[in-house]
Every structure is written in C-alpha cells, then in structure tokens.
Amino acid sequence: MAAPNLDVVGIGNAIVDVLAQADDSFITAEKINKGTMSLIDEARARSLYERMNASMEASGGSAANTIAGIASLGGKAAYIGKVADDALGKVFAHDLRATGVHYATKPLSGGPATARCLILVTPDAQRTMSTFLGASAEFQPGDIDENLIADAQVTYLEGYLFDRPQAKDAFRQAGEIAHKAGRKVSLTLSDPFCVDRHRDDFRSLIKGHVDILFANEAEICSLYQTKDFDEAAAAVWAEADIGVLTRSEKGATVITAKEQISISASPVAKVIDTTGAGDLFAAGFLYGFTHGQNLEKSAKLGALCAAEIISHFGARPETKLKDLAAKAGLV
C-alpha cells in the first residue's frame, strides 16, 4: 500500500457564514432553538436576514473549518463539498484554497445558491445557527473523488450532511473507499438535533465504518438516548475505535477500549464567539493523530485550536495555528 500523501480529506456542507450579534430576546421572538442548528428554506433565510443585526460574512461549514484548521497547523488537507457558481461560492473556494487546502469539487450551475448559515451570537458567546443548505445539499456520490480519499490518512465526515439521503450514500461510499485503501474514517455528530433526526443511520454508519468519532456532550447523549455523560461515553468505544468527546469549559475525554484520557480546556482571556469550537478541536486532534502524537497530546492540540477560535468572532483561525502550537510545545 502506498504511503498517503494527504493527512486528512474532509467532506461536508460548503457554507458561507453570516455572523451577527443578537440578544436572547431576538432568538426567542424568532422561535429558534438556542445553541443548535436549524435548517431553513431560502424564503426564511431572506426574512430572518432582514431582521438580523449588521453582520460579517466569512467562509464556514463544519468540516471545512476543520480542514482549514489542519492546513493552518501545517497539515496537508483536502476538502470535498458543493458550492454554486456564484459570488459566495467564489468566496468559499478562495478562502479554502488560500489556506493551502486542495479543493476541486465542481460548482453547481443553474441550481440553488451557495449555502449560507445565519449565525446569531448572543452576549454569552453562544452561537445559534439557521442554515439554508442551497447548493451544498446537491452533493452526490459522483462528487466523491476516490483518489483523494485513498490518498488521505483520515477521511473526515460531517454529520450535518446526513440531512440529505444522497449524501448518506456518498458517506458510506467514502467510508468503503477509505477502508479498502487501509485508511481511517472519522465522523463528527455535528448537532444533537441532527443526531435526533438520523439516530439509526448514525449508529449503523458508526458501527460499520467509523474509526474516530467526534461528539460533544449533548450529541453523544442524544445518540445513546441518555442524560448521563459517563453512560454515553461507555457506549462509544464498543462502536468506534476512538471516541473524542468535547465538554466545552470542562475540557475533553478520549475513550478507546484500552484507555480513557481526560484533558482540561485551554485558557481563554475572554470567550467572544463559540462558533467553530468543535470544528477546531477536531482539527487539532486530527493533526496530532496523523503526525504520530499520542491521544493525550492530540487532544491538547485540539483544545489549543478551540481556544484560539472562541477568542474572536468567526470560525476560521485568525492566528497561524502552526505558530501557536509551536509556542505551546505541542508540535
């Protein structure tokens, strides 16, 4: 088997974020579930945007944020995800390529617009997301580049993609290609409501195809339908080789059949916006994992990257993570 040329290839919804500050009363009045991701259609996206505060636009997408983070750490990374052939699609492609990521998925012509996620950041720094999937939902098995997957140590899948049946097929296909090539498959659960919408599919994908599972407390508890984190954590390693469970300010726990390692969160002077925290934790962990680090050091690198992203507005790093990691002695 040839040595892989890539560290990680990510597959996800290619989304541009529209970030604005909002009061809790606005979230309540708009009847949105605070702290989660809701799917909305184009008309709702337009009317919600009209009522939102002044915003800033930045490339996002959960797996794309992770992949950009891996590139910022100096890793070799690629991304697969669908934008439209429009202004926001060009912004998305520019921002990913500019970080050094290989990105060559063909943009959609004549269909829905590039996906956007309206992100409301409340004074407590929590983010509440309303996503119009647009072109990203037109992602199909034909968009999977088999060579990229066979060439990457880890294929990283975003749970959000499960909201479209065609994307589920693409996921299973990617998992099979990766394993056939002797590579690892990783999945992030993305959101407790997303888990709730697709619990059985997730369980069957994890059992059959996933080596490294990322989830936060709410997601893993939703997957195993329990309120007890320890109970949910114990269920993980029976189904995935490695469970990486993030717990916000409580740090993170990595679970395998052999060990359970807990690390604390990296300190942050002031939490500004938690958008991308989980995505960047995954970036740090996967960079460490694909560069021969042990689980503890990989998790610490994850915590460091998460701390950078929550210290400012937006879900892509503002500081070169490679320099930050070197300063912290983690690479």
Instruction: Tell me: does residue 54 bind a second copy (CB under 8 A).
Output: yes
Residue 236's contacts (CB-CB under 8 Å, 6 or more residues apart) are 213, 215, 220, 243, 245, 255
What's the min distance (Å) between Cβ of 96 and a second copy? 7
Instruction: Tell me: does residue 279 bind a second copy (CB under 8 A).
Output: no
* The only residue of 32, 73, 77, 96 in contact with a second copy, by rule CB under 8 A: 96
Neighbours of 74 (CB within 10 A): 18
CB 200 within 8 A of CB 162: no
* The only residue of 87, 124, 196, 230 in contact with a second copy, by rule CB under 8 A: 87
Among 316, 281, 275, CA closest to 120: 275
SS3 127: strand
* The only residue of 28, 47, 94, 169 in contact with a second copy, by rule CB under 8 A: 94
How many CA atoms lie less than 13 Å away from 215 in the CB half-sphere? 29
Interface size with a second copy, residues (CB under 8 A): 27
Strands 260-263 and 102-103, sheet pairing: unpaired
Calculate the CA 173 to chain-centre distance. Answer: 19
Instruction: Tell me: does residue 190 bind a second copy (CB under 8 A).
Output: no
Contact mark string toward a second copy, 281..320, x via CB under 8 A: -------------------------------xxx-x-x--
* The only residue of 3, 25, 31, 50 in contact with a second copy, by rule CB under 8 A: 50
What's the min distance (Å) between Cβ of 219 and a second copy? 27
Instruction: Tell me: does residue 26 bind a second copy (CB under 8 A).
Output: no
Nearer to a second copy, 55 or 262 (CB): 55
Amino acid identity for residue 15 in this structure:
I
Nearer to a second copy, 4 or 69 (CB): 69
Helix H segments across the chain? 24-29, 42-51, 62-72, 87-98, 146-150, 165-180, 192-197, 199-209, 217-223, 229-236, 277-289, 295-310, 321-327
What's the min distance (Å) between Cβ of 54 and a second copy? 4
Instruction: Tell me: does residue 39 bind a second copy (CB under 8 A).
Output: no
Instruction: Tell me: does residue 29 bind a second copy (CB under 8 A).
Output: no
What's the min distance (Å) between Cβ of 87 and a second copy? 5
Structure tokens at 206: 């994890």
Q: Exposed, middle or buried: residue 123 (CB in 10 Å: 0-12, 13-18, 19+)?
A: exposed
Binding site for a second copy (CB under 8 A): 20-21, 49-50, 52-59, 68, 86-88, 91, 94-96, 98-99, 312-314, 316, 318
